Structure 1
């Protein structure tokens, strides 16, 4: 029963519920905004129509247009006016991902994606991200690791100045959730932070025997154990070789003093996909994938006694390498953490960012 408390699925259920709530909140806002906007746009004709030449919102809402399909007609509506733009100016616009007129920026369009940073919060949880312009929203996305989709509200009377930062796995996953004059959003995408094919990367370096987790509190050194599970160590070695593969979800997020410190190594490459019974009962300082799964969520076991209650159900792939690293882990596990109710997992009040090194 104790093992269930570190269940990977439980953690992701919590995160999924949060992300689902944000998606539903954004969707409900959009539905209400579309209803209000349709009344207003009925008196303004085609004023403010999409740069894609979209028709009515009712005919395009929920459309699933890929980036490639959309881009083919994104500049056709400018007519002779566009011919006045000099080649140099056009080149400057094309070179700036966030410039108005860039083919990756579309007015009256809402792109979908996984939420990286919300533009609004549920009541009582403060304000979400807001910017004064679409360009400002775009540049926030550009500077935020893991963001490659941004959605900005261009009508402050309807949705303030909300800026939603999102991400998709690849260019072909850029789709429109809503499009047309009644849609109050401007959206864009950036060619960054897509999932990467491991086949295009250097192979894991077999000489790497340590994965270092760099935090604001110090460095945690993990001795890799390929003799316990080779595929997991290969994944860890890639993160040590190429630190940029770690997303903004590489972090510690759960702290249970005397039991475990849990985190995630969510990366721009697929996680390890194989599991294997551990070499024995986990000992203090051993590191394995959470919930008996293949990762990328992991935990550092901190119990004083061997984890007989786990059996050998976890894939174990490393151990804390030295005393200084263990002292740092013990420090971090004591940081403020909150459980919603008795018996629930204690989630850190402020997650601890992880960068990887070798």
Structure 2
């Protein structure tokens, strides 16, 4: 009969390998869910070797999201300066592709009353003429009204401009009168614009400026045919009030009704039409 101490030794020898085997299996099963300390230290060392420029780039990119995530964050003066520059650049682009649609011809009466004639520009009828008026606007060029008839008001824009103005082309919707007899002041007349109607603004004498006139007749000016280059049209009641004020000025008859005293004008930005 075996002794008790011998039996205990045998049982211990049999149990110990089993426990070791179970422990091995448990360690193997848990291994994917643990991160060795050596791996963490290696990652930190790798990050420490990343260049400052790479970190800065990442921070700048993250800053966009940060600004959106934290709208109350104070924007630095440097950032404000950058934003203002961008707005100025955008404004410049807008100005370049969106020229003014109208200009004003401003004058002051003897009483000190200021008037403005608002002219909507028509680049579809004469782009070069519109370019000239926009250039005159940018320089706030001066000029004068000097002729006043029942059917027109005539003046001149005095402006040293590099814009080369050419006569308008015949509009596609206009039929040219091939039997047109040219007037003596425009012996090479042709189709350069539409039949003028009340409020249209064009170059005088069948020319390409700088003398212009505003047609104020009630009926279409069929007697002028399509001789004149048109580049704008009056808009707003205030413009017609200004014409009415000019009509009250004294004139003298020199074959044409000329103002006794010419009225100085300035090309200005278009205001709100009345």
Give the alignment's TM-score, normalised by structure 2: 0.51
Report what 1:260 is aligned to.
Answer: 152
Q: How does 1:83-232 map to 2 (within 5 A)?
A: 206-217=98-109, 218-232=115-129
| 1-structure distance, mates of 2:262, 2:97 | 30
Give distance in 1, aligned partners of 2:261 and 2:146. 8
2:239 aligns with 325
Among 288, 296, 302, the residue aligned to 2:202: 288
1:205, distance to aligned residue in structure 2 (A): 7.0
Flag the structure with more relative contact order, 1 or 2, with Cα contacts below 8 A and sequence separation at least 6. 2
* Residue 212 to residue 299, structure 1, CA distance change in 2 (3 Å): same
Moved over 2 A (4+): 203-207, 270-273, 277-280
Query: For the structure 1 residues 300 and 271, does the alpha-carbon distance in structure 2 shift closer, same or farther, using more than 3 Å as the test?
Result: farther
Q: Quote the Cα distance in structure 2 between the aligned partners of 1:315 and 1:279.
A: 5
Which residues of structure 2 form unaligned runs of 5+?
1-94, 110-114, 169-190, 270-274
Q: If you compute each CA radius of gyration, which structure gives the higher value, 1 or 2?
A: 2
CA distance in 1, matches of 2:163, 2:145: 17
The question of 1:356 aligning with 2:267 is answered: yes
Contact 1:271 1:296 in 2 (8 A): no
Q: CA deviation at 1:320?
A: 0.4
- Structure 2 residue aligned with 1:307: 221
- Paired positions, count: 148
Deviations 1:254-278 (A, max 9, x none): 0002x10000012122564300245
In angstroms, what is the RMSD of aligned CA positions? 1.9
> 1:204 Cα shift?
7.6
Could you tell me how far apart the structure 1 residues matched to 2:97 and 2:264 are?
25
Structure 1 unaligned residues grouped into runs of 5+: 1-202
